[in-house]
Amino acid sequence: MSFSADLSKFCHKEAPEKTNKIVRGVVIEIANRLISRSPVGDASYWQSPPPAGYVGGHFRHNWQYGFNSVPSSILEGVDNSAVARTMSGLPTNTGGVHSGWSKQAPQGVVGLVELEMPMIVRSVIG
């Protein structure tokens, strides 16, 4: 095979596949970190009683993933399916805008993961 044929094969087949694999890995790792670090309220530690109808876990459940869109709804419930929703929402071709959204996300959860981005990318690339 010639150099130009090898280069063409890499640009059209191997590079996009590797790029998609890296982007998917980074998005999934970010989702894992954001969700696992999101606090789940435990009213037994509170100094005042919880609000009427309060159920711990709603904040963590509401991490949502969007590809080329920004989620803006609130999900009912408390199940721990946010990572699974992220993984199922990732497209095959990952070139685009990836966004996460949670109405109650404190800067402390997002800011920590933002600081870890270089390490996350390095760990995914290998």
Contact 83, 60 (CB under 8 A): no
**55-78 tens-digit pLDDT:** 788 888 888 888 888 888 888 888
Q: Give me the residues of the chain with pLDDT under 70, please.
A: 1, 7-8, 10-11, 100-108
pLDDT of residue 100: 67
Q: Look at residues 126, 101, 98 and name the one whose alpha carbon lies nearest to residue 34.
A: 101
Tell me which H or E stretch contains 65.
Answer: strand 64-67
